[in-house]
Amino acid sequence: MSEVGPKELRIVGFLCNWCSYGGADTAGVSRFKQPTDLRIIRVPCSGRVDPLFVVKALLNGADGVLVSGCHPRDCHYSDGNFYARRRLEMLKRLLPFLGIDDKRFHYTWISASEGQRWQQTVTDFTKQIHKLGPLHSGKEAQQ
């Protein structure tokens, strides 16, 4: 991953193309103030986010990972977000076994019209990651 400034942390966001990416776009078009730490990866569906993507991101330099998709029963692909919810909930439970605080991972559902909700979610998650500090500072690896 590229170098970042002293206060900026690396947060990766996997966003559903149909809803959450639209929500992020709505927030930008509406000029809602957002943290700049988040790096967005657009995916066809949150159901296509393999938990291994999250683990690899965290092990390879990300300080936090956010996954966001369509609301349940509103998935463009019928039930992709139901698959995502099952897998991501299991992942959240397994992260501590890898020595990673589960607060470094968050998943949520945001529609294309919820720009303000997107802004609030990203702001809250970024603040949480800043409180935890960099993942690879050695703090969590020693535990």
pLDDT in tens, 94-105: 999 999 999 999
Give the model confidence (pLDDT) of 88-130 as tens digits: 999 999 999 999 999 999 999 999 999 999 999 999 999 999 9
Measured in degrees and rounded to the nearest 5, phi and psi for residue 8 equal -85, 130
Confidence check: pLDDT of 3 > 70:
no
Q: What is the pLDDT of residue 7?
A: 72
CA angle, residues 99, 102, 108, in degrees to nearest 5: 150
Q: Is 24 helix (H, G, I), strand (E, B) or coil?
A: helix
pTM for this predicted structure? 0.90
**Percent of all residues in the chain with a pLDDT value above 90, rounded to a whole number:** 87
Residue type, 77: Y
Instruction: Return d(Cα 46, Cα 5) in angstroms, integer.
Output: 30
C-alpha distances (whole Å) from 111 to each of 44, 48, 89 are 14, 17, 20
Instruction: Return d(Cα 127, Cα 122) in angstroms, integer.
Output: 8
C-alpha distances (whole Å) from 26 to each of 58, 69, 118, 122 are 28, 15, 9, 13
